[in-house]
């Protein structure tokens, strides 16, 4: 049959929405029309409805629908026929009925389709499964977590969120982060281990005593992070890693000193029961002077102990000798024990699971300021253990390490921890961690009062909590954290404003109002949670002041110590849409960029002041979001050059990764935004080449960040590893050590990259937008072999 000729064909089957083909039943049309007549009060009955149905069938048979008829197509024809026959109101009722039916159908089918995708597609094929690079959604527990998380999201969107917030989120005006935990948890905490360990703590199945050695300190630190991760959806950071672990070293050293002294006494003086003698001497000194053996060469202890030993059976000739041996041997043993403890700490944090069993905890540690010999031993060893890597030399993904840089402490030659700063640079040049936080940046320094609590702490990914309008006497990080954050799609506002900057600010103003309203809605839900809902975070006093609450108390009062944060994404695309140039291309755009971000900050500062609640501004880490917004905006507004024509929106205030710019310009341009984003920020410099071979270059960048007022920064460089020969460095297609190609036996090369602050061991788990972003990153410092093209003339810069 010639398919171009329309002929009468009897309708026998119809395609349903889910794709199934079923027998066509004309009476179903008549029934639906009849219901619409009733709804519109058209005073027509089933006969008229049948006539309409007949007319629809006739149209189908004469070829009004292309291909096999579908339910949707038939319904369109019904509407046409009703309108043609003058039943305008009935047609409207029919349309409403259809819309209502499809919404309730959607409730079921969207969820079921999601479940189907999660169950039957591989993570490699489904962006949904790669939304969070830290989850392996191909595993059983990973999929179980995604079932829970996806159903929770859809439930909240339809039944919990106020419709305006739900609409804004679904439509891509804003992004409510960690929506799956909307009614359950807060984001993150800076855990104070000194406070937690004092007197021991409980994980729910028994009490853990206060630890007594560096090995137990590090083991319990992992447990604390893991336990707290089950009560929160965001990062878990140790605020005082050096100060707290140093206590463990102190205890280990004292024990090791006495043991080594006993050994020496036994060997040198043939002392019977040397262990008891050494112990008694230590106990006597403690009782008489309050002194204990410490890594600090302490003359007073030595003298007191000498007297105590001489008072017993020990021969005076050997005491000095034995003490010297004990000091030396105890230092060596404590150092070894500390290294092993740090190695175990890193191994544990890369293997233990938390957060519904499918993820390693998002762990971070802050250190670098404690100058005691014990703390220095801790920091040196965690850096050395990080540098040597995991079992087969792999780069540890966790914890994110943050080295606190401060002049007078560790930044310049001659300062007590300068050697640790140098070591931190060396370690980061190989392993991407530690990152560097800058205590002397004015917006960090303003809080510093010379005490550990007032040092700035960052959550690994970038979050920062220190200012406090609710309780101004406690502008600290310990025990505090972010409660929730929601990001604004800035580029969309700019597109809508069509170059009208005043209109842009009006739109921004109302979007800020909406976002704050949504944060308040979520805060109210969080406040009503009881202490028993967060048995570790609140039950064990990890969160500030929670130890003063009873298990049945609401969390409300103590949560006010936290922050509610508004984030933003795509300042670069926003500026491009408003002026034709982003802030890397034009000074005028940079000025406008600072006005925009400054406006947001002022808005939140005023609100904080009015309500005595901490509203802060976050430079959003864009995972899961970088592709979502731009996809929606491209659909809506088309492909706009420099705005929606890539697969991602640029992270927060960053200069676009595809834009060639010198490292110093990037730092100079991004630094002022650090001062404005009080909820957290990070700047990266991408290096091409192996910085372990040029530590001067690495350090030069860190030093320039410090000088420029960067708050938190990090240097990215390629870290590849051949799993067969173990080579660690830059690998293109061929391993430079063994000559193996990527496609040969033994599997692909591991490629560690940073994504929203976290390291990810393989590019496979990057979502599509993040993969595109990684591909476009312009690296600084090009090898002798590769010649960089000159900076292109900025496209559209004159628009």
Partner 1 sequence: MSGNPSTMPCRITRPGVALASSRAVGPDGVLRVAGTANDSITDGPGIRFTIFTQGCPHDCPGCHNPQTHAVDAGTIETVDALWERVVANPLLSGITLSGGEPMLQPIPLARLARRARARGLSVWCYTGYRFERLLAGEPSAEVLDLLGDVDVLVDGPFVQRLKSLSLTWCGSSNQRLIDVPASLGSSTVTLWNA
Tell me how far apart the alpha carbons of residues 204 and 212 are, in angstroms, rounded to a whole number: 21
117 versus 690: smaller Cβ distance to partner 1: 690
CB of 529 to partner 1, least distance (A): 49
Q: Are 496 and 507 in contact (CB under 8 A)?
A: yes
138 versus 699: smaller Cβ distance to partner 1: 699
Question: What's the DSSP call for residue 546?
Answer: G
58 versus 690: smaller Cβ distance to partner 1: 690
CB of 153 to partner 1, least distance (A): 43
455 versus 688: smaller Cβ distance to partner 1: 688
Could you give the residue ranges of the DSSP H alpha helices within 22-162?
A: 26-40, 46-61, 71-84, 88-120, 140-155
207 versus 789: smaller Cβ distance to partner 1: 789
Q: Are 368 and 379 in contact (CB under 8 A)?
A: yes
Q: How many CB atoms are located within 10 Å of the residue 122 CB?
A: 10
172 versus 689: smaller Cβ distance to partner 1: 689
CB of 705 to partner 1, least distance (A): 10
CB of 778 to partner 1, least distance (A): 10
| Residue 746: closest CA among 732, 736, 735 | 735
CB of 415 to partner 1, least distance (A): 21
Write the Ramachandran bin of 270: left for phi over 0, alpha for psi from -120 to 50, otherwise beta: left
CB of 687 to partner 1, least distance (A): 6
CB of 403 to partner 1, least distance (A): 20
CB of 757 to partner 1, least distance (A): 23
CB of 723 to partner 1, least distance (A): 19
368 versus 691: smaller Cβ distance to partner 1: 691
Which tokens in the block code for residue 29?
Answer: 């049309």
150 versus 688: smaller Cβ distance to partner 1: 688
328 versus 791: smaller Cβ distance to partner 1: 791
CB of 742 to partner 1, least distance (A): 17
CB of 709 to partner 1, least distance (A): 14
Q: Are 181 and 145 in contact (CB under 8 A)?
A: no
Residue with tokens 């979007």: 511
| Residue 468: closest CA among 480, 456, 483, 452 | 480
199 versus 739: smaller Cβ distance to partner 1: 739
Binding site for partner 1 (CB under 8 A): 662-664, 687-691, 693-694, 696-698, 700-701, 704, 736, 780-790
Q: How many CB atoms are located within 10 Å of the residue 797 CB?
A: 15
Tell me how far apart the alpha carbons of residues 391 and 343 are, in angstroms, rounded to a whole number: 10
DSSP track, 560-607: TTSEEEEEEE-HHHHHHHHHSS-TTT-HHHHHHHHHHHHHHHHHHHHH
Which tokens in the block code for residue 156?
Answer: 């909240």
Q: Are 489 and 172 in contact (CB under 8 A)?
A: yes
Q: Are 357 and 142 in contact (CB under 8 A)?
A: no
Residue with tokens 């990973």: 142
28 versus 791: smaller Cβ distance to partner 1: 791
Q: How many CB atoms are located within 10 Å of the residue 182 CB?
A: 22
Chain Cα centroid distance, residue 129: 17
CB of 696 to partner 1, least distance (A): 4
CB of 390 to partner 1, least distance (A): 24
Instruction: Read off φ and ψ for residue 763, nearest 5 degrees.
Output: -65, -15
Which tokens in the block code for residue 62?
Answer: 């004469």
45 versus 783: smaller Cβ distance to partner 1: 783
Three-class secondary structure of residue 709 per DSSP: coil
Annotate 304-356 with three-state secondary structure: HHHHHHHCCCCCHHHHHHHHHHHHHHHHHHHHHHHHHHHHHHHHHHHHCCECC
Q: Are 32 and 120 in contact (CB under 8 A)?
A: no
| Residue 716: closest CA among 753, 749, 742 | 753
Vertex 26: Cα angle to 24 and 31 (nearest 5): 125
248 versus 689: smaller Cβ distance to partner 1: 689
Task: Kindly provide the b/e burial profile for residues 242-279, where b requires at least 16 CB atoms within 10 angstroms of the residue's own CB.
Answer: bbbbbbbbbbbbbbbbbbbbbbbbbebbebeebeebbe
CB of 416 to partner 1, least distance (A): 26
CB of 417 to partner 1, least distance (A): 23
Vertex 474: Cα angle to 472 and 479 (nearest 5): 135
Chain Cα centroid distance, residue 690: 26
Chain Cα centroid distance, residue 81: 55
Tell me how far apart the alpha carbons of residues 774 and 330 are, in angstroms, rounded to a whole number: 48
659 versus 758: smaller Cβ distance to partner 1: 659
257 versus 436: smaller Cβ distance to partner 1: 436
Which tokens in the block code for residue 656?
Answer: 């676009």
CB of 443 to partner 1, least distance (A): 22
472 versus 785: smaller Cβ distance to partner 1: 785
Give the CA-trace dihedral at 69, 71, 76, 80, to 10 degrees.
Answer: 80
513 versus 707: smaller Cβ distance to partner 1: 707
CB of 789 to partner 1, least distance (A): 7
Vertex 204: Cα angle to 203 and 205 (nearest 5): 100
CB of 784 to partner 1, least distance (A): 5
Q: Are 653 and 593 in contact (CB under 8 A)?
A: yes
How far apart, in Å, do the first and last CA atoms of the chain sit? 57
């Amino acid at each position: 049959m010639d398919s171009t000729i329309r002929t009468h064909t009897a309708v026998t089957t119809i395609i349903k929405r889910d794709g199934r083909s079923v027998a066509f039943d004309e009476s179903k049309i008549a029934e639906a029309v009849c219901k619409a007549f009733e709804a519109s009060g058209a005073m027509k009955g089933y006969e008229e409805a049948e006539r309409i149905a007949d007319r629809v069938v006739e149209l189908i048979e004469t070829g009004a629908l292309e291909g096999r008829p579908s339910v949707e197509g038939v319904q369109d024809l019904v509407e046409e026929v009703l309108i043609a026959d003058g039943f305008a109101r009935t047609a409207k009722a029919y349309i409403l009925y259809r819309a209502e039916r499809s919404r309730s159908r959607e409730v079921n089918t969207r969820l079921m389709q999601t479940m189907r995708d999660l169950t039957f597609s591989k993570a490699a094929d489904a962006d949904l499964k790669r939304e969070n690079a830290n989850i392996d959604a191909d595993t059983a527990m990973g999929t179980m977590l995604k079932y829970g998380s996806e159903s929770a999201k859809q439930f909240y969107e339809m039944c919990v969120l106020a419709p305006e917030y739900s609409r804004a989120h679904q439509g891509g005006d804003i992004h409510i982060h960690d929506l799956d935990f909307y009614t359950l948890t807060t984001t993150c905490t800076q855990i104070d281990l000194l406070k937690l360990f004092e007197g021991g703590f409980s994980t729910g199945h028994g009490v853990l005593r206060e630890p007594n050695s560096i090995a137990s300190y590090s083991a319990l630190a992992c447990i604390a992070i893991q336990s707290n991760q089950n009560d929160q959806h965001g990062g878990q950071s140790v605020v005082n890693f050096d100060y707290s672990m140093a206590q463990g070293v102190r205890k280990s050293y004292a024990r090791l000193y006495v043991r080594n002294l006993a050994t020496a006494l036994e060997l040198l003086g043939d002392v019977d029961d040397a262990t008891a003698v050494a112990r008694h001497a230590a106990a006597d000194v403690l009782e008489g002077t309050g002194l204990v053996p410490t890594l600090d060469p302490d003359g007073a202890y030595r003298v007191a102990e000498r007297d105590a030993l001489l008072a017993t059976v020990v021969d005076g000739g050997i005491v000095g000798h034995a003490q010297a041996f004990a000091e030396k041997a105890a230092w060596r043993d404590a150092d070894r024990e500390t290294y092993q403890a740090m190695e175990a700490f890193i191994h544990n944090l890369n293997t233990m699971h938390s957060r519904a069993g499918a993820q390693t905890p998002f762990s971070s540690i802050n250190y670098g300021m404690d100058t005691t010999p014990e703390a220095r031993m801790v920091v040196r060893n965690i850096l050395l253990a990080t540098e040597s890597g995991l079992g087969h030399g792999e780069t540890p993904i966790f914890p994110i390490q943050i080295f606190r840089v401060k002049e007078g402490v560790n930044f310049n030659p001659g300062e007590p921890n300068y050697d640790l700063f140098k070591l931190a640079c060396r370690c980061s040049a190989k392993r991407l961690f530690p990152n560097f936080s800058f205590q002397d940046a004015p917006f960090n320094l303003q809080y510093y009062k010379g005490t550990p609590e007032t040092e700035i702490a960052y959550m690994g990914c970038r979050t920062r909590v220190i200012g406090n309008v609710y309780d101004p006497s406690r502008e600290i990080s310990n025990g505090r954290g972010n409660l929730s954050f929601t990001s604004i799609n800035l580029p969309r506002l700019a597109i809508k404003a069509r170059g009208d900057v005043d209109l842009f600010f009006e739109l921004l103003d109302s979007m800020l109002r909406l976002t704050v309203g949504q944060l308040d809605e979520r805060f109210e839900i969080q406040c009503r949670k009881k202490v028993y809902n967060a048995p570790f975070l609140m039950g064990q006093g990890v969160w500030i002041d929670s130890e003063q609450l009873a298990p049945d108390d609401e969390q409300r009062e103590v949560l006010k110590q936290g922050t509610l944060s508004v984030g933003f994404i795509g300042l670069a695309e926003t500026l491009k849409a408003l002026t034709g140039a982003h802030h890397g291309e034009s000074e005028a755009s940079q000025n406008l960029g600072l006005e925009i971000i400054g406006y947001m900050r002022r808005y939140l500062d005023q609100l904080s002041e009015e309500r005595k609640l901490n509203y802060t501004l976050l430079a959003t880490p864009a995972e899961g979001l970088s592709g979502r917004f731009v996809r929606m905006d491209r659909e809506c507004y088309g492909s706009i050059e420099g705005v929606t024509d890539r697969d991602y929106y640029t992270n927060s205030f960053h200069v676009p990764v595809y834009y060639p710019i010198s490292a110093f310009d990037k730092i100079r341009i991004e630094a002022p935004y650090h001062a404005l984003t009080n909820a957290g920020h990070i700047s990266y410099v991408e290096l091409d080449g192996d910085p372990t071979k040029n530590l001067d270059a690495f350090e030069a960048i860190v030093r320039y960040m410090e000088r420029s007022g960067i708050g938190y920064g990090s240097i990215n460089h390629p870290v590849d590893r051949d799993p067969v020969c173990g080579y660690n460095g830059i690998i293109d297609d061929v391993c430079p050590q063994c000559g193996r190609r990527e496609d040969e036996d033994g599997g692909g090369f591991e490629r560690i990259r940073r994504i929203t602050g976290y390291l990810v061991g393989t590019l496979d788990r990057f979502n599509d937008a993040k993969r595109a972003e990684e591909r476009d990153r312009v690296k600084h410092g090009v090898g002798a072999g590769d010649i960089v093209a000159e900076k292109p003339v900025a496209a559209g810069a004159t628009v």
